[in-house]
Amino acid sequence: MPFLKDNVIYLAIKIHKKNHPPEYKSNYAVIQVPSGVLGRFVMLPKLNDKFLYMFLEDVIRMHLYMIFPGYNIETTYSIKLSRNADLMIEDEFSGNLLNKLKKSLKQRKTGMPARFMYDRRMTDDVKNVLQLAFNLSEKDFFPVGKYLNFSDLVHFKNPLSPKYELKPFKQLNHPVIDKYTSIFEAADEHDLLLHFPYQTYDYVLRFFHESAIDPEVDEIKTTQYRVATNSAVVNALIAAAGNGKDVTVFVEVKARFDEENNIAFADKMRKAGINVIASIPGLKVHAKAALAIKNSSKKGKKKSYAFLSTGNFNEKTATQYADEGFFTSDKNITKDLEKLFMYLEIPIETFNFKHVLVPGFNMLPVLEEKIKREISNAQSGKKAQLIFKLNGIGDKEIIDLFYEAGTQGVQTDLIIRGICKLRPNMPFSKNISITRIVDRFLEHSRIYVFYNEGNWEIYLSSSDFLTRNLRRRIEVAFPIYDKSLINEIITILEFQLRDNTKAKLLDKNINNIDKKTGKKKYRSQQDIYKYLEIKYKM
């Protein structure tokens, strides 16, 4: 039998020879649909000014008589096998983890079957033959429709281009930064907040390039989780090492589906003289942090500058993902980051983080303390409110805290894009609303907001509230202390909570339901862009 490749469409076909009696045994065949070579969609001649297309597999179905001459085609069904993509590393705690990952990557495409998708119209005899032939269990089977791999529609070309397409998006500059000759000068005077993709990611690339060429910068430390192909950030770090700077990069080679890319970059940076730390056994580093340390001979003192983000150091996805980026020279934050990088280099040390939140150290205790403070305020008759924007929430301990807050009268507004195990609108989840926004840009930022009797406390973070993030990863949540920036974030969150065009509410069964809020239409991503455009007078 042929080996079924991972996530490739095949046709399962039942045939029998012509001119044979009905009791003659049928034959079965499997054909790969070569969509990766020919393209999934076949354009036909126009008819009455209409554009006509066929799926490639339908073209093959129509011509099976040419592939099987002398046979009648009884039935044809689409099938697809998804294989287990987890990298199986038996021992992550001894030996060379990088070499083990490289070996494991080769096995990904040949992993054990995880899900066998098939046309639900398939007859039992065909299903039984496939089950036996490919050694599948009944629990592997997953019925679907006639067509598979709808992600291929991303490559469907618009025959009327550019008609019906989104207008090109002009990213905004940050005029406060533009007043200064360097990012360092701007960060000396202000904490600087950037909202991607509304504002350009070029400032982040400038930060790394300036760090590479500034003669006063002695050290650069950064994490790397998912970076762009031909990454400008990596190229700047290599240039910095070439200029004699001490560059340390923590590369998380266990970033799912980016392992190969990250290993290649790690090898490239190591050859350039960069101190590369490739993964911590048993932990995944998901934090997005960079530190440039200047040693001014004129002033005779050392000063650190930080860039922190809710998203990856990836200039390509920064045009599609809605994230927050933050420049600061605040010693409270940079000292904590220096401790974090010390831990990444020597992960047996214990550190006391005073301002940033790090899982395994202080994140869960501080979150619990601040949520319980809102509960106490509500119980005292004071206004109490929580706003959390996350990609996912699934940790039981955190969910129970939200349930307690809601039932005690704390207004709890959650914006959750993906996984959600918290159920709103139940007796145990009063005062909790969950909004989901799907629009032009992928909502990716994580924001934690505590009302604190009107003295808003805000953290931006790399961490969702899934058990893996809070307990098995190194993440960073960093505070925003500047009041004008706090007000800016609150305003943006208010735009998202009022969105009734691209946002849905979740009901008690985690189903999407329409917002029933007046006649006026609000669309948060457009509102955010206009707000920033007006505020910064671009």
| Mean pLDDT rounded to a whole number for the chain | 91
Q: Residue 100 pLDDT > 80, yes or no? A: no
Q: Give tens-digit pLDDT for 135-145.
A: 899 999 999 99
Give tens-digit pLDDT for 353-407. Answer: 999 999 999 999 999 999 999 999 999 999 999 999 999 999 999 999 999 999 9
Arithmetic mean of pLDDT, 473-481: 96
3-state DSSP assignment of residue 74: strand
Does residue 127 surpass a pLDDT of 80? yes
Residue pointed to by tokens 């060429």: 213
Per annotation, catalytic residue among 190, 209, 286, 355: 286
- Kindly tell me if the per-residue pLDDT of 91 is higher than 50: no
For the stretch 153-200, pLDDT in tens is: 988 999 999 998 888 889 999 999 999 999 999 999 999 999 999 999
Q: What angle do CA 293, 203, 182 make, to 5 degrees?
A: 55
Select, from the ranges 21-35, 244-258, 425-439, the one with the highest average predicted confidence (pLDDT).
425-439
Between these two residues, 6 and 89, which has the higher pLDDT value?
A: 6
Kindly state the tokens that stand for 435.
């909004």
**299 secondary structure, DSSP code:** T
Q: Is the dihedral of CA 359, 360, 361, 365 positive or negative?
A: positive
299 pLDDT tier (thresholds 50, 70, 90): low
Checking if the pLDDT of 107 tops 90, the result is no
Do 78 and 7 meet the contact criterion of CB atoms below 8 Å apart? no
Query: Residue 109: is its pLDDT beyond 90?
Result: no
- What's the burial of 239, exposed, middle or buried (CB within 10 Å: 0-12/13-18/19+)? middle
User: Where residue 495 falls among pLDDT bands split at 50, 70, 90?
Assistant: very high
Give tens-digit pLDDT for 241-298.
999 999 999 988 776 666 777 788 888 999 999 999 887 777 888 999 999 999 875 6
Residues 6+ apart with CB under 8 A from 331: 304
At residue 102, the pLDDT reads 63
Answer for the pair 396, 369: CB distance below 8 angstroms, yes or no.
no
Pick the most confident of 13-22, 90-99, 273-282, 427-436.
Answer: 427-436
- pLDDT the model gives residue 85: 58
**Domains of the chain, each with CATH number or no CATH:** 9-155 (3.30.1840.10), 175-345 (3.30.870.10), 363-535 (3.30.870.10)
pLDDT tens readout for residues 309-352: 999 999 999 999 999 999 999 999 999 999 999 999 888 778 89
- Average pLDDT on 74-86 reads 86
Q: How high is the pLDDT of residue 195?
A: 98
More confident residue, 230 or 192: 192
Lowest mean per-residue pLDDT among 4-8, 251-255, 408-412, 498-502:
251-255
Is the pLDDT reported for residue 208 higher than 70?
yes
Res 256: pLDDT? 66
Instruction: Answer whether residue 511 shows pLDDT above 50.
Output: yes
Q: Hey, what's the torsion of the CAs at 516, 519, 524, 526, to 10 degrees?
A: 150
% of the chain residues with pLDDT over 90: 75
Residue 151 confidence (pLDDT) above 60: yes
Sign of the dihedral through C-alpha 199, 363, 422, 515: negative
Q: What are the tens digits of pLDDT across the range 454-464? A: 999 999 999 99
Tell me what the mean pLDDT of segment 296-306 comes to: 80
**Catalytic residue list contains 63:** no
pTM of the model: 0.85
* Confidence (pLDDT) at 257: 63
DSSP string, 191-250: -EEEEETTB-THHHHHHHHHHHH-TTEEEEEEEESS--TT-HHHHHHHHHHHTT-EEEEE
Q: How far apart are CA 131 and CA 112, in angstroms?
A: 14
